Structures are given as structure tokens and as C-alpha cells.
């Protein structure tokens, strides 16, 4: 109840920011602390929260690589950013996160650019009311929101560690999750059932993918600590923003709820605030394996905090990818 009141009132938390804070506000004082020549890679930055994240990071002098499925839309984002910030450096690369092959091609293209990689923002996400499968024959929501980002992080992690070692600047990975992760119960979180779309429900599938994003952050944080790597990883809840994902819930009921709950919805800039805060703030230096909401460290579900569950998910995911990628080369 206390957290709900804090949210509605837009009260600031320990960070000095709250639910009403915008991406520009939370990064306004970061510029004087930021080292020059930072490079950030953002998936799904051709619209919504991702596009706003790209705009604000570019405004703060960060070179931004946008990974997008629709390069035409991404080009429009690039033009708008450079209209506001003429010196902004924006690189566009095509990626379909539901496809393992596309993720591999994207990583090869990115690595060929020989850019440093300081910040990786796993932002892209979809919601589908209907059961669909990726080209790898995996349920599409889970493939896009979690598996694609898992593979992307896996391939680029050494590059991030290498960049941190060379520059002395701590690398940061941000997984964009959602408070809806807390709807998932342990007995419903079964890896083989999820990837096969068994008893599919769109909302549940989305929630499961967002839970997986947090568990991924928990496990990778532990692995990075074990490697003594200067890279952190955290998960964030952007808030409820009327983006393309929310608009996928079409119908009278949804529109009515939007009308009644309009005061609860965040603007796109407010939705991008937590991601930008965790990516750039000196206050998040050294923090890893945590969950943030409204620009403050927050509590996630007990299942999302389960380190054994996180390790089990990593093992299952690693085994699946190893098997599928090996099959693709035969």
C-alpha cells in the first residue's frame, strides 16, 4: 500500500527520483561524471521506450548502436535524434531477436565495427495474444523477449569485459523486465512447456519471459562476480506505459481500463527513466543482480530472487542454444 501511494504521488525514493521522473531529468547531472566515448547498444529502439532511451543517451554524448527489426523505423528515430543533437553518433543494425541466426549475424556485424561496448540494454519485447512460433520452432514471445537477449548477451559479454579492462570503465547490462513477472508461480514456470507453447496464454507467456529476464540478470551477475569482471547486470521495470506492447491488448475492456487508469500510466519519457538511470548514474556503480523500479532498487518476487531457479534456467537455456546452434551448422 505504501509503495502504491508513493507511486501515485510521484514521491522520490533514496535515489532522489520517483515514478514521475523523466529520462532527461535522471541523467541531467550525469554528463559531468560520464567518461567520453561511451558506446551503448540498445535493442528495440525503433519506437517507444527504446527510442526514448536512445534519444536521451545520445543527448548525453553516448554513441548509440540501435538493433532493430525494422530499419526504416530505426532510420526515422536516427533522423529525429540527430535533428535534436546534431553531433549524435547513431549506428543502425538489423536484428530479429526471435531468430538465433539473426542474432548471430547481428553480433558478427557489430563486432566487425571494432567499437567498444560499455552499455548493453536488452530492451526489445513483444506481446502476442495468439500462439506463434519462431523460425527455430520456439514460442515467439519467449524467443524474442528472453532467448534472443540471452544469446546476444552471451556472444557480446567478452567484448564488454574486454572494453571494461581496456578503459577502466565499468560495463553495464540492463534487462528490461516488468512487474508482471510476479504473476508467475513456480509450478507454471516449466522450461519445456514454455518453449513449446503448451496451454498458451498471451499474458502468461509475456509474464514468463519477463521473469526469465530477471533470473537471467541474477545468474549472469553471479558469473561476472566469479570472473572478477568489471561488468554489472541489472533488471528494470519501466512502469506501465502505453506502448505498442500494451496496445496489443486490443478491445473495449482494454480501452475502458486505459480511460479509468490514465493517471497510473507513465509517459514514454517516464518509462525510459529507470533504464537511463541504471545505465548512466554514478549511484548505480558496482550494483549488480538487482531489480529497479521508478529509478530505485526494488523488490521482485520470491521466484525471481531464487538463485537455484536462475541457475536452472541458465543451464536449460544454454543446453537448448548449444543443441539448436549445433544443428544449424550440420
Instruction: Specify the DSSP class assigned to residue 147.
Output: I
- What Cα–Cα distance (Å) separates residue 292 from each residue in 60, 87, 139, 280? 21, 31, 27, 14
Residue 229 CA neighbour count, 13 Å, CB half: 24
Say what angle helices 273-280 and 48-59 make with each other, to 10 degrees: 40
Helix (H) or strand (E) holding 276: helix 273-280
- What Cα–Cα distance (Å) separates residue 81 from each residue in 76, 91, 244? 9, 12, 20
Say if residues 157 and 149 touch (Cβ distance below 8 Å).
Answer: no
- What Cα–Cα distance (Å) separates residue 99 from each residue in 144, 317, 327? 8, 15, 14
Say if residues 230 and 171 touch (Cβ distance below 8 Å).
Answer: yes
As beta bridge partners, residue 297 has: 292
Kindly report the three-state secondary structure assignment for every residue of 55-118: HHHHHCCCEEEEEECCHHHHHHHHHHHHHHCCCCCEEEEECCCCCHHHHHHHHHHHHHCCCCCC
Of the candidates 200, 206, 277, 291, the residue annotated as catalytic is: 200
Say if residues 231 and 172 touch (Cβ distance below 8 Å).
Answer: yes
Residue 200 falls in the annotated catalytic set: yes
Entry field: residues in the chain? 330
The residues assigned a catalytic role are 200
Amino acid at each position: 500500500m505504501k509503495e502504491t501511494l508513493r507511486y501515485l504521488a510521484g514521491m522520490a525514493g533514496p535515489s532522489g527520483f520517483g515514478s514521475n521522473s523523466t529520462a532527461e531529468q535522471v541523467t541531467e547531472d550525469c554528463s559531468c561524471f560520464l567518461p567520453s566515448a561511451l558506446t551503448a547498444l540498445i535493442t528495440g529502439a525503433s519506437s517507444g521506450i527504446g527510442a526514448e532511451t536512445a534519444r536521451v543517451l545520445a543527448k548525453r554524448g553516448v554513441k548509440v548502436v540501435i538493433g532493430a527489426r525494422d530499419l526504416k523505423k530505426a532510420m526515422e528515430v536516427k533522423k529525429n535524434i540527430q535533428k535534436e543533437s546534431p553531433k549524435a553518433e547513431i549506428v543502425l543494425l538489423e536484428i530479429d531477436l526471435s531468430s538465433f541466426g539473426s542474432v548471430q549475424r547481428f553480433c558478427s556485424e557489430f563486432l566487425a565495427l571494432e567499437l567498444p561496448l560499455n552499455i548493453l540494454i536488452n530492451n526489445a519485447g513483444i506481446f502476442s495474444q495468439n500462439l506463434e512460433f519462431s523460425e527455430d520452432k520456439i514460442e515467439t514471445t519467449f524467443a524474442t523477449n528472453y532467448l534472443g537477449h540471452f544469446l546476444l548477451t552471451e556472444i557480446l559479454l567478452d567484448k564488454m569485459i574486454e572494453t571494461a579492462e581496456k578503459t577502466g570503465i565499468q560495463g553495464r547490462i540492463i534487462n528490461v523486465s516488468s512487474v508482471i513477472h510476479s504473476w508467475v508461480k513456480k509450478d507454471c514456470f516449466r522450461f519445456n512447456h514454455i518453449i513449446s507453447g503448451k496451454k498458451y496464454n498471451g499474458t502468461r507467456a509475456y509474464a514468463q519471459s519477463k521473469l526469465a529476464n530477471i533470473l537471467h540478470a541474477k545468474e549472469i551477475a553471479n558469473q561476472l562476480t566469479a570472473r572478477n569482471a568489471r561488468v554489472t547486470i541489472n533488471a528494470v521495470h519501466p512502469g506501465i506505459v502505453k506502448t505498442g506492447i500494451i496496445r496489443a491488448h486490443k478491445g473495449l475492456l482494454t480501452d475502458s481500463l486505459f480511460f479509468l487508469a490514465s493517471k497510473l500510466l507513465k509517459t514514454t519519457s517516464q518509462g525510459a527513466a529507470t533504464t537511463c538511470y541504471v545505465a548512466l548514474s554514478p549511484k548505480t556503480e558496482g550494483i549488480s543482480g538487482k531489480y529497479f523500479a521508478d529509478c530505485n532498487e526494488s523488490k521482485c518476487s520470491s521466484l525471481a530472487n531464487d538463485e537455484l531457479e536462475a541457475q536452472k534456467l541458465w543451464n536449460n537455456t544454454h543446453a537448448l542454444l548449444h543443441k539448436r546452434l549445433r544443428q544449424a551448422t550440420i
